Amino acid sequence: MVTKMKKMEIKVEKEDNQATVEITDEDLAIGYILRKELLKNSEVVFAGAIKPHPLVNNFKVQVETKKSDPIAQILASGDSAVEISEEILEKFTKSLKK
């Protein structure tokens, strides 16, 4: 069985220490995961994930930082989320082999 992957679209708006990332064709759960990782960062003042409308297939993640580049914080938080996901997958796979 071959599954065709959807092509997600990402739009980024940045102004000073604030950024909004709009992601299309992905689930809002990704936005919540990214938001949670952003809020762990001491440089982040605000992080939120919203779905503008239930019938529209997109969501936005907004972030505001103290002084640092918000895009750099989003990328670092995304990397952290990927690491956690890989750890969960590894533990899950090991538990299935028992």
Residue 72 is assigned to a structural domain of this protein: yes
Instruction: List, for residues 27-83, the tens digit of each pLDDT value.
Output: 999 999 999 999 999 999 999 999 999 888 899 999 999 998 999 999 999 999 999
Instruction: Render 14-75 in DSSP notation, one character per residue.
Output: EETTEEEEEEESS-HHHHHHHHHHHHTSTTEEEEEEE-S-TTSSEEEEEEEESSS-HHHHHH
Full-model pTM: 0.84
Chain segment 57-67, per-residue pLDDT in tens: 899 999 999 99
1 is a domain residue: no
For the domain that residue 91 is a member of, what is the CATH number? 3.30.1360.10
Considering its fold, how many domains does the chain have in total? 1
Enclosing domain of residue 27: 10-97
